Every structure is written in C-alpha cells, then in structure tokens.
C-alpha cells in the first residue's frame, strides 16, 4: 500500500465542477465537550463527555475564471441569494473517496491582482448539518476468484471477501502461475497487469524453507482497489 497523490481532486458546487482550483481544504469534523465534573470526580480530574459535533468551514483557492458560469460565478450568485447547496469534494479516482456537504457560501473573493501574477479566486463554504464521507471500492475478485498452478494447496478457499491466504507447494516447485478472475476490472499481480481468466507470468518462489508473498490488486474507475495477499510456502 502507498499514499495517494492529491493531484486530480475535484470540487463541485450544486453538481457542477468549479474550474481552475489550486487548493481545496477538506472537511474537518470536531465535537465539543460538556464538563460533568463534580466534587466526587476521581483523583481531582475533570470529566467531560462529547457534546454536539461541528463540521469546519471548507475553503477553496484558485485562479479567477469569470467564464466559469456554473462554478465560480454560480457560487457568487448563491452567496447573494443565501442559497443552500451541496458541495462535493471528490478525491482522485484510485481512492474512491468523497465528501458530500450541504452548506452556504459565506465568503468569496476575486482580486489581489499582482503585476506578475494571475487574478486569484477564493471561496468559503459553511457546512449546514452533517457532511457525508464515502469510499467506493472495486468489486474485487469474482468467481472462481483465483487458482494457483502446480497443485498448490490454498487455505482458506478463495473468496472475494477474504484478503489473506496461505498456500503451500511441494519442495521441488520453484515457480508457479496465478490465474485471477475479476470481471470488467483491472488486475495486477505483483504490480504487473494480468487479464481475467489468464495465467500470470511465472512467479519465482524463494528457496526451500521460505515464504513468498504475492499480491493481487483489483481496481476499477473511481473506486478504491481491493488487495489480496497470498503467502506461498515452499517447505
């Protein structure tokens, strides 16, 4: 697993993409606390319980685009109208993640035009109520999931919902292939693309007495990948 680059994150307002943004500050949710300390509080320590939850302001920055009528200009119009809309932050497709936030535009700015710079655009959205964070994931492996060559024994039985396996081969087996199945998705075995239902290239196993880990990554557009790991034992 590795970190995801932020490049490609999108911000939409009322279902329309807001153009030419350079920075999108995400959603921060916090909870206030309520002091319930009494004279009986143990050890002289204060006692607090969670109170109401709050979603922090969302701020965006970019280059002013007066031709962006459905994005930047619409935000300006909705500021004047005090219109409640939905903001959507969509992270890069490989994450499958997004924030959906109802809210109002509470600040907007076109200006600060430097001689050698572009005209900037900034806006602030005040959330109204609860924001929703969601992650779409790839379907993952599909029947019959995957098979190993050379009579390898797999535990447990392959399934879309099980992500870690142990497989064993005879000591004389120095390599094997994996045939994965994942309909209408991209499959990678140890980082190399493999077609669904087609054996991979030969995977070299470690010396006798070792365990070789192999990963199967299944991904699809606008969804987080599912990763399966097979630990292959060569006794």
Tell me the pLDDT tens digit for each residue of 8-67.
999 999 999 999 999 999 899 999 999 999 999 999 999 999 999 999 999 999 999 999
Q: pLDDT averaged over the chain? A: 95
Neighbouring residues of 185: CB distance < 8 A, sequence distance ≥ 6: 138, 139, 140, 196, 218, 219, 220
User: Which residue bears the tokens 């006692």?
Assistant: 47
Residues 100-127, mean pLDDT to the nearest whole number: 92
Cα 113 from chain centroid (whole Å): 36
122-159 pLDDT per residue, tens: 999 999 999 999 999 999 999 999 999 999 999 999 99
């Amino acid at each position: 697993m590795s970190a995801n680059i932020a490049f490609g994150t999108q911000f939409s307002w009322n279902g329309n993409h807001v153009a030419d943004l350079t920075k999108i500050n995400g959603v921060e949710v916090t909870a206030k606390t309520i002091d319930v300390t009494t004279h009986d509080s143990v050890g002289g320590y204060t006692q607090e319980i969670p109170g109401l939850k709050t979603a922090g302001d969302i701020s965006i920055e970019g280059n002013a685009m007066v031709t962006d009528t459905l994005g930047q200009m619409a935000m300006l119009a909705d500021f004047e109208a005090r219109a409640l809309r939905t903001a959507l932050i969509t992270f890069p497709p490989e994450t499958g993640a997004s924030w959906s936030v109802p809210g109002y535009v509470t600040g907007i700015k076109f200006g600060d035009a430097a001689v050698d710079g572009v005209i900037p655009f900034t806006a602030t959205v005040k959330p109204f109520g609860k924001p929703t964070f969601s992650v779409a994931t790839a379907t993952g492996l599909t029947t019959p999931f995957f098979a190993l060559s050379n009579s390898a024994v797999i535990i447990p039985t392959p399934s879309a919902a099980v992500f870690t396996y142990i497989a064993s081969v005879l000591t004389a087996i120095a390599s094997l292939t994996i045939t994965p199945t994942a309909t209408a998705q991209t499959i990678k075995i140890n980082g190399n693309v493999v077609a669904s239902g087609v054996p991979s290239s030969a995977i070299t196993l470690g010396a006798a007495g070792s365990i070789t880990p192999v990963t199967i990554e299944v991904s699809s557009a606008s969804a987080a990948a599912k990763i399966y790991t097979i630990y292959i034992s060569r006794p």
